[in-house]
């Protein structure tokens, strides 16, 4: 698989509940087993910590994937994420941790477009 990198700026819903992600993110996330509407997966973050998430999709119409609150809110709280911060999902593998996906939380600390991993 070619290296992919996708980003999303966080909304109030994203930091208070679950992360609604673009359908394009399904290209990076593990495949759903036939008949399943959720998939568990592991990632590392931009500073090397290990996280577990669950992505679910709708049963009907278009998928509308979301990262469920259980693992997602732990990540939000640990990173002190706020509305306007962003997350970047990419296909960078971490052989030590055994993950194939990385999620980076980023803040624009100087409000000048210089995003920094937290």
Query: What residue segments make up the domains of the chain, in order of their start?
Result: 5-117
Kindly provide the residue ranges of all beta strands, DSSP E only, lying in 1-118, ordered along the sequence.
Answer: 5-9, 19-20, 38-45, 50-56, 66-67, 86-90, 102-108, 115-117
How many other CB atoms are there within 10 angstroms of residue 33's CB atom?
Answer: 9
| pLDDT of 102 strictly over 60 | yes
Q: Which CATH number fits domain 5-117: 3.30.1370.10, 2.40.330.10, 3.30.70.1140, 2.40.50.100?
A: 2.40.330.10
The token pair that represents 29 in the structure block = 């996330």
CA distances from 112 to 40, 69, 109, 117 (A): 36, 30, 8, 15
**pTM recorded for the entire structure:** 0.89
Kindly report, residue by residue over 32-55, the tens digit of the pLDDT.
988 899 999 999 998 889 999 999
| Rounded Cα gap, residues 74 and 5, in angstroms | 22
Do residues 74 and 55 make contact, with C-beta atoms less than 8 angstroms apart? no
> Strand, coil or helix: what is 112?
coil
Paired sense of beta strands 102-108 and 50-56, if any: unpaired
Kindly report, residue by residue over 13-25, the tens digit of the pLDDT.
999 999 998 888 8
């Amino acid at each position: 698989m070619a290296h992919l990198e996708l980003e999303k700026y966080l909304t109030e819903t994203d930091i208070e509940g679950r992360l609604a992600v673009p359908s394009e993110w399904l290209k990076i996330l593990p495949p759903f087993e036939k008949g399943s509407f959720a998939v568990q997966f592991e990632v590392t973050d931009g500073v090397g910590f290990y996280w577990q998430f669950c992505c679910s999709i709708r049963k009907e119409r278009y998928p509308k994937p979301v990262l469920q609150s259980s693992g997602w809110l732990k990540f939000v709280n640990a990173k002190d994420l706020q509305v306007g911060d962003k997350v970047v999902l990419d296909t960078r593998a971490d052989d030590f941790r055994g993950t194939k996906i990385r999620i980076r939380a980023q803040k624009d600390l100087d409000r000048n477009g210089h995003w920094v991993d937290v």
